[in-house]
Amino acid sequence: MGNGLQTAIDLAWASGKFIDISKFSANAKGWQDAVQYAYCNGGILLHKYRVDLQEKDNFVLKEPLNAEHFVRNVLMHHDIQEYIERLKIEKSDPSFENAQQISGDLLSQYLIRILVDGGAYRSIVKKKATLIVSKFLQEEYQNRFKDLIIFTYKYLDADWFFDVAWDYSLLIFDTQKSEIMFIDLTDTD
């Protein structure tokens, strides 16, 4: 992607608005409770925002996404400051590494694996984990996996995490609804 196009994308994201819509479905709450059970010494953070871009900037939704740039543009946005503060990040430019884009078709398997592998002391059996994740994804996304762009990454400066193998961060971008959901998990032994 050329530098001019990347600059235009960066400016479009910076001028957009992120509106907090962190009200979740009953099945999202069920998934959150299951994670809280499995990650008994840590926890889960869920945040959701609607992204409002200026009409002239909607082109960014159709551009090929570079994981590193996409995650950086979102995490640096001033409208998500409450989320950043809950992660106990004290600077305006959060540090992260290993930003990778995964297919929407893999989201279900990824979330099931998180529950089945569990935290330091507890886990959820696969059959139950599959049911919990299926209900969550059906209610939140109506199983529209082709409309989802998912990024995984690791924060380097978030004091909320315990910096262990049970740390997960996901950013799920619903291109149809222009919504972003953050999912963060941690546990310790």
pLDDT digits (tens, 9 = 90+) for 120-158: 899 999 999 999 999 999 999 999 999 998 999 999 989
Q: Are 22 and 79 in contact (CB under 8 A)?
A: no
Residue 28 phi, psi (nearest 5):
-65, -40
Q: What's the predicted TM-score (pTM) here?
A: 0.90
Whether the pLDDT of residue 64 is over 70: the answer is no
Write the CB contacts of 180 (distance below 8 Å, at least 6 apart in sequence): 18, 48, 49, 51, 74, 171, 172, 173, 174
pLDDT digits (tens, 9 = 90+) for 5-44: 777 777 777 788 999 998 888 999 999 999 999 999 888 9
**pLDDT band with cut points at 50, 70 and 90 for residue 179:** very high
Domains of the chain: 3-186 (3.40.1000)
Taking the C-alpha atoms of residue 171 and residue 69, their distance in angstroms, rounded to an integer, is 13
**pLDDT band with cut points at 50, 70 and 90 for residue 90:** confident
